[in-house]
Amino acid sequence: MWRLRSSRISHLVGRLSQINVVSDVKVQQYRCCQTLVSPPPSSLQQTKYDPPDTVVLRSYIGENVSRKDKTKYLYSTLLELNDSKETVYGALDAWVAWEQNFPIASLKRILNSLEKEQQWHRVVQVIKWMLSKGQGMTMGTYGQLIQALDMDHKVEEAHKFWEMKIGSDLHSVP
């Protein structure tokens, strides 16, 4: 579902649904400036040009881009960004937005590449973002974060994190 805040877009979607151009889409008016648009119930779509019994699979945004290209794009984007937390988190959120599953393996490759380039501050930002999303809560990720904090000369924060996360769970450390 999408919330359309522009009155022009709401009007356009409403008009298109009236003339059956977007007949599969449900449009509901809530207020003068908000419209709720629900996508069709199925990911399969039949067009008016297809024979009656054929169904065409609808493609999603970014579906035709390979995983390797997506990873390279995020890696180059992360290297070009300034050190603002909001900027990095926004780029990561935008990158993950069109994925159906959380791309933990791709992020691990990116983290390893950032480590090779000794971009410790970026490694810290990416891992903290992952943890804020509830992903990557493993001893390996925690160890990588502590190492990156240490290499980024944030020893106090690394020690605090050690005491908070790993030091209390010594039964899980071999």
Strand partners of residue 2: 37
Longest dimension (CA), the chain: 67
Q: Could you tell me if 150 and 158 are in contact, meaning their C-beta atoms sit under 8 angstroms apart?
A: yes
Residues 6+ apart with CB under 8 A from 7: 32, 33
Question: In this predicted model, what pLDDT tens digit does every residue of 142-169 receive, in sequence order?
Answer: 989 999 999 999 999 988 888 887 766 6
- Assigned domain for 62 exists: no
Tell me which residue range forms the domain holding 167. Answer: 67-172
User: Does 91 lie in the same domain as 34?
Assistant: no
Residue finishing a domain among 39, 57, 75: 57
Q: Could you tell me if 26 and 38 are in contact, meaning their C-beta atoms sit under 8 angstroms apart?
A: yes
The pLDDT value recorded for residue 9 is 61
User: Does 28 lie in the same domain as 85?
Assistant: no
Give strand ranges (E) for 17-158.
Answer: 26-29, 35-38, 44-45, 56-57
**Percent of the chain whose predicted confidence (pLDDT) is above 90:** 32
Query: Using the 8-state DSSP alphabet, how is residue 168 labeled?
Result: G
CATH number of the CATH domain containing 123? 1.25.40
CA terminus-to-terminus distance, the chain? 47
| Cα–Cα dist 52/67, whole Å | 35
Q: Is the pLDDT of residue 129 over 90?
A: yes
Q: pLDDT band for position 57 (50/70/90)? A: low
Q: pLDDT band for position 68 (50/70/90)? A: confident
User: Does 47 lie in the same domain as 96?
Assistant: no
Question: In this predicted model, what pLDDT tens digit does every residue of 101-122 receive, in sequence order?
Answer: 888 999 999 999 999 999 999 9
User: Does 26 lie in the same domain as 98?
Assistant: no
